[in-house]
Chain A
């Protein structure tokens, strides 16, 4: 809190020292959660971003890209502060921001006050960001939390025969969106979600939450991330918890699966869904994993990129490739660049991505199960791949609109 109130620290600027010729530069601002509960997620996001720069390079025609990185702490006001600082002090022209759900909604609203600039979402996944009153200059190349849960509810019901589940999640928009996707599908298949517990982001002591978990359910769904997820698992183990677990997209992710200590072992066998799977055979994915691994020494990275690294990679890829299509032309309030961004189809590591009319990604989703690789490292193994997942999750848009926006109690557990 103290740190946040003292303002934002531009952690580093990836400046290349001036070459002999003065080149024209394009300034890009990047934000990531490098403080607070989601620090690890932000750090890996930046790794994904750097991997993309290694692969694609920083040149657009005869112009050079220059990046300024700012830190946030997953709260909406910290994100807006960081973005404002990047625009007003560093004079960036393009933004790659933000990482977390609530931040995304705030930055999208802020984007409307700067219609001349371009905002490319880095990794945030709240549904509202692009679904409700979208900003014309805000582009999102990752799916939202609900899209990332597609396939999970049906797989749990049909294959695992789970009939009753309860959920525990962090109390903010991204997790609402994740639970929204899960509940819609699981209840649609005939299952029951008996109890939804919400804990504040940054909860340390989960013991009472764990004690309040119901006994009479087949599985417990965890929608936690970062430090919260690690704390939960640690205390769950100390309390002797034995239930079947299911996980959200940032719960079953290298940020948690490669945390220190043995609490993560409670996750072996856990069913989850996400925009990526660590062990996917696809050559594009395998190449990305290798690029990521080659870019950093093993103790400075995860064994395999996290969802955040993948999202930052995809967003950076869109940023650079579209910029190359227009040859770095940002004239006329960047209108050519925005048109190129809206049209571009990405061959991202986690499958093909294209944007819908709201500039929201349509992409591929993965149902996964956590496996031990035999040497103590945990990975998510793909059990099902679902291509072409759109924001209305395959529902008719009119029906989808009736369900309501994700919140603590929406959607109801029924078939829509």
Chain B
């Protein structure tokens, strides 16, 4: 951080000013002139919160994707299928048992198992052949998509939100002041906040596991140089399987989350594959903090775009990707 400030003082200043403006926009009561210019504060605050919570979902999908890429250099284009598979499993469990939490656990385990199978049966056989792996995973994603269409049909599935999570709560953020002087607080769907919190916890746990544990050390060493790591006697194949299982399991969890606050249907696999590709390209391939930053930027861009420039909302995320590729092709937080 300090190094960044020393090396790029002008950029650091711009970033600090931008953060200050954003904080003021969020916490201050807007003067009437501003409301006339860019609309009500409630709309703005909602868009920001939605962007952040959507970023949480994107992070869950993209972190597994980037973890797998970082260690194994596999571009797993069947990652979106794992997301959708996790979602369908979650729906089946929550519909039959009524338990939302159990849906997460089972979805995690089953998609992790699929991930293990993928690693053992597919990727291990073509290690180091990037193009072949990419083509095979594209093929697999099509096969999975049609299998799931066959099994689940084209219907929309929604995982039932548990009763204690339905409805909005009031946040201590003032959106407006009534003429009587009484402040109006922001009302926000509870389920999105809980999901966001969960993705933060998962992100922090992953960071801790990578940076503070022995297995994390092995994985980081593998990211840097897996041949040397294998030469030191670590059984690298087991590490690969573990990481693949974790990455796939995270996609499964994300599927349950996505099925709860959006919906599951054929085509979602491709959408989330695309989203996670954009996220990791913006954040930097292979970097977990990069995935978090990328997810946040893309989520915010989508939501703010859909409110303030609805016609061009779809383009905004890709514009960001183009900009990043042009100015910093390795991604915002990539080390190399």
Shortest Cβ distance from B16 into chain A, in angstroms? 27
Counting CB contacts under 8 A, is B168 at the interface? yes
Interface flags, A1-45, vs B, CB<8A=1, else 0: 111001000000000000000000000000000111101101100
Counting CB contacts under 8 A, is B155 at the interface? yes
* Known A205-B303, A261-B160; contact A35-B266, beta-carbon cutoff 8 A: yes
Contacts of A37 in B (CB 8 A): 265, 267
Question: Given the complex of chains A and B, what is the CA–CA distance between A204 and B257 in angstroms?
Answer: 13
Interface residue range, chain A = 35 or more
Interface flags, B311-323, vs A, CB<8A=1, else 0: 1011000000000
Interchain CB contact (< 8 A) of A260 among B45, B142, B157, B168: B157
Counting CB contacts under 8 A, is B261 at the interface? yes
Interchain CB contact (< 8 A) of A208 among B50, B160, B265: B50
B187 touches A199 (CB 8 A): no
Question: Given the complex of chains A and B, what is the CA–CA distance between A230 and B262 in angstroms?
Answer: 9
Counting CB contacts under 8 A, is A259 at the interface? yes
Interface flags, A263-281, vs B, CB<8A=1, else 0: 1000000000000000000
Interface flags, B30-55, vs A, CB<8A=1, else 0: 00000000010011011101110110
Contacts of B166 in A (CB 8 A): 237-238
* Known A39-B154, A231-B263, A261-B158; contact A200-B313, beta-carbon cutoff 8 A: yes
For B54, the closest partner residue in chain A by CB is: A205
Contacts of B39 in A (CB 8 A): 212
Counting CB contacts under 8 A, is A198 at the interface? yes
Contacts of A259 in B (CB 8 A): 155-156, 158
Counting CB contacts under 8 A, is B310 at the interface? yes
Question: Given the complex of chains A and B, what is the CA–CA distance between A119 and B306 in angstroms?
Answer: 37
User: Which of B182-218 touch A at CB < 8 Å?
Assistant: 187-192
A263 touches B158 (CB 8 A): yes
Interface flags, A228-258, vs B, CB<8A=1, else 0: 0011001101111000000000000000000
* Known A200-B313, A238-B261; contact A207-B50, beta-carbon cutoff 8 A: yes
Counting CB contacts under 8 A, is A211 at the interface? yes
Counting CB contacts under 8 A, is A209 at the interface? yes
User: Which of A173-213 touch B at CB < 8 Å?
Assistant: 197-200, 202-205, 207-212
B142 touches A6 (CB 8 A): yes
Contacts of A197 in B (CB 8 A): 310
B261 touches A199 (CB 8 A): no
Shortest Cβ distance from B36 into chain A, in angstroms? 15
Shortest Cβ distance from A209 into chain B, in angstroms? 6
Counting CB contacts under 8 A, is A262 at the interface? yes
B46 touches A211 (CB 8 A): yes
Contacts of A36 in B (CB 8 A): 266-267
- B contacts with A: majority SS: helix
Question: Given the complex of chains A and B, what is the CA–CA distance between A239 and B171 in angstroms?
Answer: 13
Contacts of A237 in B (CB 8 A): 166
Interface flags, B252-277, vs A, CB<8A=1, else 0: 00000000011101110011011000
A212 touches B302 (CB 8 A): no
B192 touches A207 (CB 8 A): yes
Question: Given the complex of chains A and B, what is the CA–CA distance between A42 and B265 in angstroms?
Answer: 14
Interface flags, B142-166, vs A, CB<8A=1, else 0: 1001000000011111101100001
Question: Given the complex of chains A and B, what is the CA–CA distance between A328 and B314 in angstroms?
Answer: 48
Contacts of B47 in A (CB 8 A): 208, 211-212
For A240, the closest partner residue in chain B by CB is: B168
Contacts of B133 in A (CB 8 A): none
Question: Given the complex of chains A and B, what is the CA–CA distance between A39 and B154 in angstroms?
Answer: 6
Interchain CB contact (< 8 A) of B263 among A2, A6, A199, A227: A227
Contacts of A73 in B (CB 8 A): 267
Interchain CB contact (< 8 A) of A230 among B160, B263, B310: B263
Counting CB contacts under 8 A, is A171 at the interface? yes
Counting CB contacts under 8 A, is B138 at the interface? yes
Shortest Cβ distance from A88 into chain B, in angstroms? 24
* Known A3-B270, A35-B266, A208-B47; contact A260-B156, beta-carbon cutoff 8 A: yes
* Known A6-B142, A262-B160; contact A209-B307, beta-carbon cutoff 8 A: yes
Shortest Cβ distance from A144 into chain B, in angstroms? 24
B50 touches A231 (CB 8 A): no
Question: Given the complex of chains A and B, what is the CA–CA distance between A202 and B42 in angstroms?
Answer: 25
A238 touches B192 (CB 8 A): yes
Shortest Cβ distance from B277 into chain A, in angstroms? 11
Contacts of B187 in A (CB 8 A): 239-240
In this complex, which of A1, A202, A209, A238 has the most chain B Cβ atoms within 10 angstroms of its Cβ?
A238
Shortest Cβ distance from B192 into chain A, in angstroms? 7
Counting CB contacts under 8 A, is B167 at the interface? yes
Contacts of B167 in A (CB 8 A): 238, 240
A34 touches B154 (CB 8 A): yes
Shortest Cβ distance from A258 into chain B, in angstroms? 10
Contacts of B304 in A (CB 8 A): 208
Counting CB contacts under 8 A, is B76 at the interface? no
Counting CB contacts under 8 A, is B111 at the interface? no
In this complex, which of B168, B265, B270 has the most chain A Cβ atoms within 10 angstroms of its Cβ?
B265
Shortest Cβ distance from B67 into chain A, in angstroms? 23
Counting CB contacts under 8 A, is B66 at the interface? no
B42 touches A211 (CB 8 A): yes
A3 touches B154 (CB 8 A): no
Interchain CB contact (< 8 A) of B262 among A199, A204, A239: A204
For A34, the closest partner residue in chain B by CB is: B154
Counting CB contacts under 8 A, is B141 at the interface? yes
In this complex, which of A40, A211, A261 has the most chain B Cβ atoms within 10 angstroms of its Cβ?
A211
Question: Given the complex of chains A and B, what is the CA–CA distance between A35 and B191 in angstroms?
Answer: 29
29 A/B residue pairs, CB under 8 Å, sorted by A = A1-B274, A2-B142, A2-B270, A3-B142, A35-B154, A42-B154, A200-B314, A204-B263, A204-B271, A205-B262, A205-B303, A207-B303, A208-B43, A208-B50, A209-B307, A211-B43, A211-B50, A212-B47, A234-B263, A235-B261, A238-B168, A238-B190, A238-B191, A238-B192, A240-B187, A259-B155, A260-B156, A260-B157, A262-B160
The 5 closest A-B pairs by CB, nearest first: A211-B46, A39-B154, A261-B158, A207-B50, A238-B189
Residue ranges of A at the interface with B (Cβ–Cβ < 8 Å)? 1-3, 6, 34-37, 39-40, 42-43, 73, 171, 197-200, 202-205, 207-212, 226-227, 230-231, 234-235, 237-240, 259-263
Residue ranges of B at the interface with A (Cβ–Cβ < 8 Å)? 39, 42-43, 45-47, 49-51, 53-54, 138, 141-142, 145, 153-158, 160-161, 166-168, 187-192, 261-263, 265-267, 270-271, 273-274, 302-304, 306-307, 310-311, 313-314
A208-B50, A260-B155 given. 9 additional CB < 8 A pairs? A6-B142, A35-B267, A36-B266, A171-B310, A204-B263, A207-B303, A211-B42, A238-B190, A259-B156
